[in-house]
Structures are given as structure tokens and as C-alpha cells.
Amino acid sequence: MAPLTTAVRPFACSSVSGKDSRRDRSDRGHGGNRGQNQSHGEPARANLREDLLDHLSTENRRPLCPAIVLIGDLHVIEPSIALLLSSSFPGGSSDYYRERRSGEQRSLYTRETERQTKSRFERIYMQSTSAAPQALPPQAVIVQMVMGGWVARAISDVSRLNIPDQLKKSGPMTAAELVAGGVDANPEALQRVMRACASVGVFTEAVDGSFGLTELSDVLTADSPLSVKVIAQEIGGLWLKLWTALADAIRTGEPQARQVVGMEWWDYLKANPKEMETFGEAMNSNSLNSMRGVLDNCDFSKVKKVADIGGGFGHLVVALLEKYPNLRGVLLDMPDLIPVAKHSFAVSDPNVSSRLEYMGADMFETVPRADAYVLKHIVHDWDDERCLRLLRNCHANMDGDGRLICVDSVLPPTGDIGGTAAKFLDLLMMLAIRGKERTRKQWEELYDAAGFRIINITPLQDNFGTSIVEGVKQ
């Protein structure tokens, strides 16, 4: 599962202040001559860009709001600024502006008209360089945070209407054109939702009322290699409902799925095959980065047989069999899911399918024999007692010294306020099931109790604090 939403807080952007800074701006044509230079088009535009780059590069930092905010660990840049800065790159307004933070790169892509860009940037620029700059007040930050659920639902529903897919296929369209093309919506209501989504960078919005694709909405399309379409629908749909019972979860310490959907979480999925299929697709889209992490960081060249425990449709085990031609694999999951996996992710390559087994079983009762076990986003679904039973099953059926590889979030230690996404994911586990995310110390205690010793923890640098926790028999 993935977090419902992430915290929003002001991004401290550098300030340009003092006599020298004012003189520098004047030398480039800003300050008292700003109006004159704006009439010259491109030179003024370049000067504005230089000023903002100065803001982003100087070490004197103060909040620049609402142009730039932090959502969890991710910088979100006001679209007009992103476009203005993007013209520094060869691709012009269709290129990316990349902001580096803690060794990682995040990007925001947008397209707008030059007129919109210049007008909006001038407004933000004046706001950020005023004589008495003001940080975003605490109440505004809190309101942004609590509106996160609204944003999640809006993105989820436009994705469910396949609007990003339609825009990718046909180019920019108005709400009326989308409805005329088959979208089941009221044109005026759809336009209002699209405008709201555009305000957070999901779509572009032109003066003629048309909306276009951005890098953010591209990953909401079905054919994107980085698609999060289905998981976005889950986060803003079924999972969002669970959060209505958070107060009861806090009060009782118990999962609230029965209160929200009428039965326990896994029982609900079993009773609703369509929900089970959607859940499986969502888990797959969420775990693509984790799968790449295992393929890139774990060596299976000496492994004879790998068991993918709770592997959903089997994407990971199939990828491993494709990479290692002498490896055999077995996919274990709930009996009800195995037929769905065979249908939804049929393996056509006989060189792979001949080395792949399917096993429908309760992993807490039995697991297949293998010399390597991979549990990708499984351990966080269960409490310590269940996890210990599962890991001991793997230990008892492991051939040779073997390896145990778990892929899940690793929470920062107490006192570290980082790991926003993983901590909210932990709350979702508390709401839906008896699961939780764990710190490194908790992982070490769990492995030790099951008869394993952790030899390596490899962070995958994703948005959820996911790591590969690799252990061997003690």
C-alpha cells in the first residue's frame, strides 16, 4: 500500500536583499527600470530568470510562498517559474527544470503561453523581492496540508475518467470537447475539477479553456512506463475511505476496515474480485521501483530456486527468470489471486514459463522449498507475531544457507522527523490491517528472532523510504 497524502510545508527559498542585491538587479535592468525592460520581451524575460536563479543559488534563504512548497521530501515548483527556468535548457519550454535536493533530482514539467508565464512570474517575483517579505503563515500551511485529501480525490477521479489518456492521445482539449468525445461528465463540473487539478500542476490550462498533459498527468496514463494510474485511483478512492475512521483507530489501536467496508480488509478483497484485481494492479504499479531495485542490487547468479512470496501477479519472479536463464522460480500468493495472476500477466515466453511454478497457499502455514525468498511489500502488512511465523516458515524450508530478502520501508529512528511518506504509510497500515512499518532496530529484532542475520540494508531512494533488507541464516 502507499501513503494517502504527504505533508506540505514552505520551501525556504533564497532571498536577495541588501544594497548590493538591489544594485545587481538594477544593473540587469530591474528595479526602477522594470517597466521599461518588460516591454522589450526576451531581454526582460532573461533578466527575470537570472534573478530567480540568484534566489535559488544564494545561501541566504527565506520562505518564498506560494511559489515553492515542499510536499514531503519533494519540491513542487509553481508552474510558471518551472517554465521560465526551463527555457535555460535546450528543450525550451517543453524541457524540465530540475531541483536537486539531498543528492536526488525531482522534476516538474509544464507548458504555458509566454504571456501567462511572464505575467504570473512577475507577480510572484514582486512578491518574493518586496521590501518586507512574509513567510506563508502557519494557518495557510495547515490548510494546505488538510486539503491533501481533496487533491487526492480530484486526481483519482480524473484518472478514473481516463482524461490523462485522452489528452495524451488527442492533445489539449476543453472540458466540453472531452465530454463530446465520450467522457461521462457534466462539462461545467468537469472544467472546475480540471482547473483545480491544473492549479497543482497536473494539467496545463490555456486562455481558451483547453487543458493539456504535463509530466505529472503523463504518469496517470495507462501506457506510461512509470504509470501510477491505478494506485492513484486506489489512494483517492477505496483507501481514502479508510481515513474517515482514523479517530477510532487512534482510540482503539485496532484496524477499521470492518467499520468502513463491512468486513476485514483481506476478506473484502476476496469477496470482491474486481477490487482484488484493482488492488493487485495498484500494488504492481507501486512496486516497479522496488522490482528494479532487486534486479539491480541483488545477485541471483548462484541461486537455484527463488520463491516470490505474496508476489501478486508475478512481475518480479518473471523478471528474475528473464535475467537469469538457469534460475527456477515459484510464485506464492492467495489461492483466489493465482488464477487472476495467470490471466492478467500471462507468461508467453516458453523459456520462462517452463521454469515458473504457481502455488496458491496460506504463507503462514506453508511456503515452497527454495534457496532464496523474496518478500516485496509483504512484511509491513502484518504484526510481529504473523511476520515471525512467516519468516520461520522460510527458514525451515530454505535449502542450504540461503538468503531472505524483504523489500519494505525502513522508518528513521526516534527523534528523526524525516521519512514523511513512510510514516503516513504506517498509518494506512494501522487503519486497514494489523501491519506497520519498522525501524532498522525493529527489522534486526525480527530477523534475529526468526533465525536470520541482516547483512545489508540498501535504500532505494524512492518516495516511500523503501529499502532492501537482506539476511542469511544464522
- Rounded distance, CA 269 to CA 279, Å? 8
Class of domain 287-473: alpha beta
One DSSP character per residue, 137-183 reads PHHHHHHHHHTHHHHHHHHHHHHHTTHHHHHHHH-SB-HHHHHHTT-
Q: What is the pLDDT of residues 268-305, one digit of tens each?
A: 998 998 888 888 788 777 778 899 999 999 999 999 99
Q: Give, in degrees to the nearest 5, the angle at Cα 61 between 60 and 66.
A: 150
Name residue 205's beta-bridge partners.
211
**Spatial distance between the Cα atoms of 125 and 128, rounded to a whole number of angstroms:** 5
pLDDT confidence band for 134 (50 / 70 / 90): low
Same fold yes or no, 147-235 and 287-473: no
- Transcribe 221-238 into DSSP letters: STT-TT--HHHHHHHTTH
Q: What is the mean pLDDT of residues 431-453?
A: 97
The stretch 355-368 carries a mean pLDDT of 96
pLDDT at 56 over 70: no
Contact between 395 and 473 (Cβ < 8 Å): yes
* Cell representation of residue 242: 479508510
Q: Which residues contact 238 (CB under 8 A, 6 or more apart)?
A: 261, 275
Looking at the DSSP bridge assignments, the partners of residue 76 are 69
Element containing residue 22 per DSSP (H, E):
helix 18-27
End-to-end CA separation in angstroms for the chain: 31
For all residues of the chain together, what is the average pLDDT? 78
Over range 84-111, report the average pLDDT.
33
pLDDT given at position 285: 72
* pTM score of the predicted model: 0.69
Burial of 385 (0-12, 13-18, 19+ CB in 10 A): exposed
State pLDDT tens for residues 323-345: 999 999 999 998 988 998 898 88
For residues 64 and 135, give the distance between their C-alpha atoms in angstroms, rounded to a whole number.
7
- Residues 272 and 356: their CA atoms lie apart, in Å, by 27
Percent of the chain with pLDDT over 90: 61
Top-confidence residue, 236 or 93: 236
30 catalytic per annotation: no
**Residue partners of 274: CB distance under 8 A and separation at least 6:** none
Tell which wins on pLDDT, 386 or 106.
386
CATH 1.10.10.10 fits 147-235, yes or no: yes
In contact, 373 and 395? CB cutoff 8 Å:
no
Residue 211 is given by DSSP the state E
Interatomic CA distance for residues 116 and 288, integer angstroms: 37
Q: What is the DSSP string of 377-411?
A: S-GGGS-HHHHHHHHHHHHHHEEEEEEEEEEEEEE
Q: What is the pLDDT of residue 188?
A: 98
Better-scored residue on pLDDT, 312 or 22: 312
- Domain definitions of the chain by residue range: 8-137, 147-235, 287-473
Amino acid identity, residue 311?
A: G
How far is residue 33's CA from residue 123's CA, in Å, rounded to a whole number?
16
Catalytic member of 75, 377, 380, 395 = 380
Q: pLDDT of 164-220, one tens digit each?
A: 999 999 999 999 999 999 999 999 999 999 999 999 999 999 999 999 999 999 999
Tell me, letter by letter, the H, E, C secondary structure of 24-83: HHHHCCCHHHHHHHHCCCHHHHHHHHHHHHHHHHCCCEEECCCCEEEECCEEEECHHHHH
CA distances from 115 to 41, 46, 323, 355, 473 (A): 10, 14, 51, 59, 64
